A = this chain, B = another copy of it.
Amino acid sequence: MFETAEIGQKIDKNVFRKREPEIRTALIEAQRALRARGVGVIIIVAGAEGAGKGEVVHRLATWFDPRGVETHAFWDETQEEREHPRFWRYWRAIPRAGSIAVMFGSWYTRAILDRARDASDDASYEADLHRIAALERMLTDDGVLIVKLWFHLSRNEHRKRLRKARSEGQAVSPHTENILEHYDLLMRLAERAVRVTDAQAAPWRLIESTDAKYRDLTAGETLLAAIRARLEERPTAPSIPRDPEPEPDAVTVLDRVDLSLSLSPETYRTKLDASQRRLSNLAWEARTRGVSTIAVFEGWDAAGKGGAIRRVSQAMDARLYRTVPVGAPTDEEAARHYLWRFWRHVPRSGYMTLFDRSWYGRVLVERVEGLAPPEAWQRAYLEINDFEEQLVDAGVVLLKFWMHISRDEQLRRFRERQETEWKKHKITAEDWRNREKWGAYRTAVDDMVARTSTPDAPWTLVAANDKRHARVQVLETFCTRLRDALDGKV
């Protein structure tokens, strides 16, 4: 495949001088239009070490208006990055709507190098590439423009350059020297990467890099064409019909929850104490062994999410966990893919994050209230499963609780809250409005559980009409899952 980029293309100095100002002007215009339209752009600058990626990055920095461009170099992983799921570092670099991220190195670099160094095998290399394709699809679905440039140099050209650099006593990057030795292998792996991830929404462009002027001008023109094509696109009408009205009496997974379950105060006290003590020890053990945990709490308004979370967190040393209440996104969050804000809070090895509401908002409130278009929330099941799979693959213990109460019980609690001074703030007009949509939420919960309960990340439906029973169920589930994980049973 790369032979197509070994045909000796070059550009005359005078031609370059004439065309450079044109392309600069056009890129600046394009950048302004992107900003106005709120389109984020990721430019992946890939290719073998020594092909001039760095020079291209510098050139782009000159051509674009630096306000609104960030360059991210993915190179050595920091300790903090190693203690998170692999893609955590890439999610940190996702550009805001309307701005540009130049990725020097990228999610491809590590996958290719790991395989080259035999740190992964063919199967996991394929899995890496498919995960990359999924990430790119997720971002392009969200409206991000991804431009992928592969800069190629023939083996001879590599050899020539290295020789020249050495003879002139130039500083040579530590990786450059290895290229020639492993040239065939790297090209084979690169070719495979390009093949698997050459999607319509994020196609690759190979650029011959022997002549710097040809290389830079072609990069600029490719970018420009991609941006223009994107700006000319009409927003397509949602292809999927609006959510049908739910059958009010349809049987859902929630009907299987036995809401009559309850505990006496004495049994509650005993069981709560025992499981909190157990969890306290498990949390220390998890920290010592570097096992991290994420627990998601979803449920009806007033179902007791907060109370359950507190019973869990009270059991643990406050240094071992963080609670993240999920409310309205900040502007930095709203300007990016909706999963970005959750990636931010993925704990490092040995620690725990408790989410009070979560990414499931996408397929619950955003679906029911029409805050996300149907194609967005329908896509979200896949995106969420992929996200959670990455967490689990990285060794995270993932717990998901749906706190279930009956509609009557909810009414009773709403009234009680209104009557308790320090609980009043918990009940708003919005809660009453949500209550009216009970049927639609039931359908949404049913779909959510059906589509996102996986063996490694199952939903626990909590019978929460009795708060005591609910809390003990949550704590005991917590302990069991954590124990199993620490015993390697998952």
Chain A residues near B (Cβ < 8 Å): 21, 24-25, 27-28, 32, 53-54, 57-58, 61-62, 65-71, 73, 75, 78-80, 83, 104-105, 170-171, 173, 277, 280-281, 284, 306, 309-310, 313-314, 317-320, 322-323, 325, 327, 330-332, 348, 356, 420-422, 425-426
Asked whether A105 lies within 8 Å of B319 as measured between CB atoms, the reply is: yes
* Copies per complex of this chain: 2
Query: Provided the pairs A25-B422, A332-B330 are in contact, do residues A322 and B62 lie with their beta carbons within 8 angstroms?
Result: no
| Chain B neighbourhood of A62, CB < 8 A | 310
What separation, in Å, do the CA atoms of A104 and B319 have in the docked complex? 7
Asked whether A356 lies within 8 Å of B66 as measured between CB atoms, the reply is: yes
Q: Can you give 13 A-B contacts (C-beta < 8 A)?
A: A27-B422, A54-B319, A61-B310, A61-B323, A65-B426, A73-B318, A78-B348, A79-B79, A104-B318, A170-B277, A330-B331, A330-B332, A331-B331
Asked whether B32 lies within 8 Å of A425 as measured between CB atoms, the reply is: yes
Asked whether A327 lies within 8 Å of B67 as measured between CB atoms, the reply is: yes
| Chain B neighbourhood of A69, CB < 8 A | 325
Query: Provided the pairs A80-B79, A323-B71, A331-B331 are in contact, do residues A318 and B54 lie with their beta carbons within 8 angstroms?
Result: yes
Asked whether A24 lies within 8 Å of B422 as measured between CB atoms, the reply is: yes
Asked whether A54 lies within 8 Å of B317 as measured between CB atoms, the reply is: yes
**A120 CB → nearest B CB, Å:** 23
Asked whether A421 lies within 8 Å of B332 as measured between CB atoms, the reply is: no
What separation, in Å, do the CA atoms of A105 and B73 have in the docked complex? 34
| Chain B neighbourhood of A28, CB < 8 A | 422, 425
Given A57-B318, A78-B348, 11 new contacts (CB under 8 A): A21-B421, A24-B421, A53-B318, A54-B318, A58-B314, A58-B318, A61-B313, A66-B323, A68-B325, A79-B80, A332-B332
| Chain B neighbourhood of A79, CB < 8 A | 78-80
Asked whether A71 lies within 8 Å of B331 as measured between CB atoms, the reply is: no
| Chain B neighbourhood of A173, CB < 8 A | 317
Asked whether A58 lies within 8 Å of B313 as measured between CB atoms, the reply is: yes
| Chain B neighbourhood of A66, CB < 8 A | 306, 309, 323, 325, 356
| Chain B neighbourhood of A80, CB < 8 A | 78-80
| Chain B neighbourhood of A73, CB < 8 A | 318-320
Residue of B whose beta carbon sits closest to that of A74: B319
Asked whether A25 lies within 8 Å of B421 as measured between CB atoms, the reply is: yes
- Most chain B Cβ neighbours within 10 Å, of A53, A65, A317, A331: A317
**A154 CB → nearest B CB, Å:** 23
What separation, in Å, do the CA atoms of A474 and B66 have in the docked complex? 19
Residue of B whose beta carbon sits closest to that of A315: B58
Query: Provided the pairs A24-B422, A332-B332 are in contact, do residues A318 and B71 lie with their beta carbons within 8 angstroms?
Result: yes
**A18 CB → nearest B CB, Å:** 13
> A331: which of B83, B332, B422 is its contact (CB, 8 Å)?
B332
What separation, in Å, do the CA atoms of A490 and B35 have in the docked complex? 43
What separation, in Å, do the CA atoms of A306 and B83 have in the docked complex? 37
**A455 CB → nearest B CB, Å:** 31
> A171: which of B25, B71, B280, B330 is its contact (CB, 8 Å)?
B280
| Chain B neighbourhood of A21, CB < 8 A | 420-422
What separation, in Å, do the CA atoms of A21 and B421 have in the docked complex? 8
| Chain B neighbourhood of A421, CB < 8 A | 21, 24-25
Asked whether A322 lies within 8 Å of B71 as measured between CB atoms, the reply is: yes
What separation, in Å, do the CA atoms of A75 and B318 have in the docked complex? 11
Residue of B whose beta carbon sits closest to that of A280: B171
What separation, in Å, do the CA atoms of A186 and B75 have in the docked complex? 42
| Chain B neighbourhood of A314, CB < 8 A | 58
Asked whether B71 lies within 8 Å of A325 as measured between CB atoms, the reply is: no
| Chain B neighbourhood of A27, CB < 8 A | 422
What separation, in Å, do the CA atoms of A136 and B326 have in the docked complex? 29
**A425 CB → nearest B CB, Å:** 5
Cβ-closest 5 pairs across A and B: A79-B79, A73-B319, A24-B422, A25-B422, A25-B421
Residue of B whose beta carbon sits closest to that of A281: B171
**A287 CB → nearest B CB, Å:** 10
Residue of B whose beta carbon sits closest to that of A306: B66
